[in-house]
A and B are shown apart, each in its own frame.
Chain A
Amino acid sequence: MVNKLIKEDTKMFLTGNEVLAYAANSAEAEFMYGYPITPQNEIMHTWCKLLPKTEAGFLQTEDEISAGFSTIGGILAGKRAFTATAGPGNVIMQDAQSMAEMMRIPFVCAVMQRGGPSTATVIYAQQETRLTCFGGNGEGFRIVYSTAGHQDLYDYMIKAFNTAWKYRFPTYVLADGYQGKMREPVTLYDPASRGITMVPTTKALLADGQIGVDRKSAHLRNTYNMEEELMEVLEGYKADYEKMSEEVAEWEEYKAEDAEILVIAHGIVARSARTAIDELREKGIKAGLFRPITIRPLAVKPLRAAVSRAKQILFTESANGQLAQMVLEKLYGLNTPYSTLFKMGVGVTGDDIVNKVESMAVAV
């Protein structure tokens, strides 16, 4: 057991990376495995600084491959373990993430997106959206929370552990370099004070009881001999995933009820959209926001309902439509016209969105 540091509501002025370390502690996370890459380093800096008080564990590994795989090792030992990464680190960690997907390991990872492809910038982007949802040689049986600020980071990092351990799919907090590095006020709390109970962990290997007396030896594998054998396993996963989707899918609407122009954005860009929507409403333009919080799985029903009500859609991202592609697939059959405002690896400001929506309104 670890010592939880936040025992009552505490308002603090922190960077997002610091918030994530505190959130993991509040979620009773016992071990972090990690490898340095900007812009997520301060998660492990903070985690390490707090170790004498929390009595949790930490290992700095030789790369993100081993950070991912050793996290799996820790989880198999029954620890609430996690890791964090970004950019090229997220790319090479897909190896471990695929294995977690195949073996239904409650893998928790914070991804602080930076510019891509490859080294690119260390600053900010939304270009790991597709990678985080569908990376690896699998089907994307993953749960991805896209946060839009520090309170989200705290809330969803705690939630990620419970989602992962309840449903046994790899679970991500997808943020970005801005959220990691920026400072803003946040209220930290003991999850119990919000009625949140942490889902108990279990040991996959060296579980209680004697081999040959109380139980058989555990043989965990991610190899299959026969095509049909694999498909049978994956069909089971798919059924579990679909059943779970309605329970975990989250979204947020802002002035979307009567919106004629519906902005669809996730993460920090959705925050810029809020600023823009207030300004547009003052100018008499009925704009609204649909923000998927889980970008995998998407909240399909409310998404389609909001899009059906609108006259036009605007997709905006700090990427070239990575979310838009996932959303459009779910909008099949609807014919609401859409426009795009994509800034690859660059922040989208409120002004950007205001200008774009105004031009869309004029066009109508």
Chain B
Amino acid sequence: MAEILTLPPNLPDAQNAEVGASKFCPGCGHGITLKALAKAVDELGIKQKTVFGCDIGCSLLAWNYMDLDTVQTHHGRTTPVIYGFTRANPEAIGIAYMGDGGGLAIGAQHLVNATVRGERMMIIVVNNTNYGMTGGQMSPTTMPGQKTETTPYGRDCSVTGKPAKAAEMVAAIADPQKSFVARSSVSNMMKLKQTFVKGLKNVQNGGFSFVEVLSICPLNWRTNNVDTFGRLAQMEEFFEVKEFLVPEGV
């Protein structure tokens, strides 16, 4: 028994073993997403040349989560920091990791322009349909009718417009020859990892990659385990899980 308890956790090499317990809330989707990402980095053997940027909001808690060279910025600014880096060091594999607020609201201009320019990087938008760290406000991806702190009676799309569909938007403006664009979900970690592998491969080939990850936020959703994954299933119906653009060589 004692022997079992002292077994080291089965962590991917690209995940920081020293970090101890995760600072993410219990049941948060970031842990699954980051583990899938770390496994993808391991699989491609790119740990030594990957630079990982995380944003403000919940994603900032990833600042020491990975055993990767990391910079934490804010407000969707992870995108320009990382493309600034990879422009200066084209050998590097840049990853910009952010939430739906950082990617689609406050940092939307960076997402749009990085896509159009085909920056050599992978942008990951973790979509949990709300602003988690600031206490659960409506975000661009909040579902129709979803209750948040700023839509306490449910999101009324006649007032707020409809939820933003990030992957569709990015796919519409990206260069299909050089861009990998996909939406994945934390409901299937192995598939999520494979999606990251494809995205990173495309960056290795000199392309631009965008992965939207449908994720869960039981704390702000105020859902139990069953309801959490029930809602995720609803999200997967609303936000189509698929690969939108897959360039050759990926």
Contact = CB atoms under 8 A, between A and B. Distances in A.
Direct contact of A and B (CB under 8 A): yes
A223 B92 contact: no
Interface in A67-101: 67-74, 76-79, 81, 95-96, 99
Interface string A192-223: 00000000000011110011100001111111
Contact of A74 (B48, B69, B72, B88): B88
B64 interface: yes
B84 A69 contact: yes
Contacts of A57: 87-88
A33 interface: yes
A211 B69 contact: yes
B16 A217 contact: yes
A221 B89 contact: no
Contact of A205 (B13, B63, B69, B113): B69
Interface residues of A, number: 40
Given A73-B85, A211-B48, A61 B74 contact: no
B47 A69 contact: no
B235 to A, nearest CB: 28
A264 interface: no
Nearest to B70: A219
Contact of B87 (A59, A206, A219): A59
B81 interface: yes
B216 to A, nearest CB: 23
Contact of A77 (B16, B48, B56, B89): B89
Given A61-B80, A217-B68, A74 B60 contact: no
Given A69-B81, A223-B63, A218 B89 contact: no
A128 interface: no
Contacts of B240: none
B84 A72 contact: yes
Contacts of B16: 217, 219
Size category, B interface: 35 or more
Nearest to A83: B84
Contact of B81 (A59, A76, A206, A207): A76
Nearest to B64: A219
Contacts of A72: 73, 81, 84
B70 A212 contact: no
A73 B109 contact: no
A99 B73 contact: yes
Given A59-B84, A67-B80, A222-B74, 20 more contacts: A31-B87, A57-B88, A61-B80, A62-B109, A63-B109, A65-B80, A66-B113, A69-B73, A69-B84, A70-B83, A73-B81, A73-B84, A73-B87, A76-B51, A81-B88, A207-B69, A211-B48, A218-B70, A219-B64, A223-B60
30 contacts: A59-B87, A62-B109, A62-B112, A62-B113, A63-B109, A66-B79, A66-B113, A69-B73, A70-B84, A72-B73, A72-B81, A72-B84, A73-B81, A73-B84, A73-B87, A76-B51, A76-B85, A77-B84, A77-B86, A79-B88, A99-B73, A99-B74, A205-B51, A206-B48, A206-B89, A211-B68, A211-B69, A220-B71, A221-B60, A223-B56
